[in-house]
Amino acid sequence: MNDNTNVSTSYNIALIGFGGVNRALANIIATDPEAFYHEMGFNLRIIAVSDMFLGSVYSPEGIDMALLIGLPAAQGACANLPNGKATADNEDIIKNSNADIVVEATVTNSVTGQPATSHCRWALSSGKHVSTTNKGPLAFAEKELIDLALNNNVGFEYEGVVMSGTPVLRFADKLLKGSNINRFAGIVNGTANYVLGLVEQGQSFADAITSAQQQGYAEADPSADIEGKDVMLKVIVLANRLWNANLTQDNVQCEGITGLTETMVKEAVAEGCHWKLIGKASKQDDGSIVASVSPEKLPIEHPLAGIGGAVNAITFTSGMLGDVTVSGPGAGRIETAYAILSDIIAIHQRKEG
């Protein structure tokens, strides 16, 4: 892909955003490069980092990984790296660096979907593959970005957007292909599920949300988690991927867990039930898609009632198989970094044909 001698097995990576997820990815890459190559069949070389808080660094031959891993979380810290600057340089790095793959993991404004949407546009337009964990670009420009990737013959991958490291998009799209999926329903917000679990154990909602933030599960603004918007976006992404549904935020009825009280949550347990925030969508006979997000009080024997902590689970209902449930980690820094790695593997496999 790049100008190295090892042209077929090395990818240059630009990390846009260097918070918990991209730091975890850098750690995975740096831990044991030889074992990594042996397992994956390719090398990854981080050539650029740009972050609104930390600043930026671009080293076309690769950033010193020991220095990058040890970078303190201090404003402008990148200025202390060779070729580093105290300010971010997202646009120039995305458009003009020698990156093969842009990994987009910035904080998105949920009203505008920016700056992540522009990051993806710039990268795809300049012929670079994109892996993003960001819901913003999918919520605001999904079709445009998919078309842009197709037209530029590059990959646009976003496995981490739904269920983080648990590869549910590829599972549904590739492994259940042809099974005639007509419905899915699931727990797809780790924060809300974790919070409900702690409230069941006696914590207040406020303390439980703080704990979810400390664990790295919650969004920068956790209202997206507890008001259901995060689930709504994941339902849209999954429904559009499965059925080419053209769903938008206007089509999905959405209610979070803010209407639940600590008493309601504890009373449900006493009744042998659990409140869960459920996102679902189904294909109607006329081909239209109906989707919604709302808390549901599930009896203990329901397959989703026992899903605890930040674990996510989705049940797919198909004509051929009936119900198939996938469960696994739905949030977390390392888990989401793994989703990026799975995107990079998909980009590699696409190249390998």
Q: Could you give the residue numbers annotated as active site?
A: 234
Find the part of the chain contacting ligand HSE (CB under 6 A) among 1-9, 15-23, 74-82, 187-195.
Answer: 187-195
Nearer to ligand HSE, 100 or 159 (CB): 159
Q: Is 100 in the site for ligand HSE (CB under 6 A)?
A: no
DSSP string, 300-352: TTSTTTT--TTEEEEEEEETTTEEEEEEEE---HHHHHHHHHHHHHHHHHHHH
- Applying CB under 6 A, does 230 fall inside the site for ligand HSE? yes
Q: What is the residue whose two structure tokens read 């009203």?
A: 111
- Residue 115 preceded by cis peptide, ω within 30: yes
Site string for ligand HSE, 291-330 (x = CB under 6 A): ---------------------------------------x
Q: Which stretch binds ligand HSE (CB under 6 A): 63-71, 80-88, 149-157, 184-192?
A: 184-192
| Residue type at 168 in one-letter notation | V
Counting contacts by CB under 6 A, is residue 335 touching ligand HSE?
A: no
Asked if 331 is part of the footprint of ligand HSE (rule: CB under 6 A), the reply reads yes
Please tell me whether residue 104 adopts helix, strand or coil conformation.
strand
CA atoms within 13 A on the CB side of 52: 7
In whole angstroms, give the CA distance from residue 209 to residue 217.
10
Looking at beta carbons only, is 92 or 255 nearer to ligand HSE? 255
- Alpha-carbon distances of 276 from 19, 120, 187, 231, 270, rounded to whole Å: 29, 33, 7, 12, 15
Give me the 188-207 binding string for ligand HSE, x by CB under 6 A, dash otherwise: -xxx----------------
Only one of the segments 18-26, 47-55, 120-128, 215-223 lies at the binding site for ligand HSE (rule: CB under 6 A); that segment is 215-223
Q: Is there binding between residue 17 and ligand HSE (CB under 6 A)?
A: no
In what helix (H) or strand (E) does residue 276 lie, and over which residues does it extend? strand 273-283
Interface contacts to ligand HSE, rule CB under 6 A: 164, 189-191, 217-219, 225, 230, 330-331
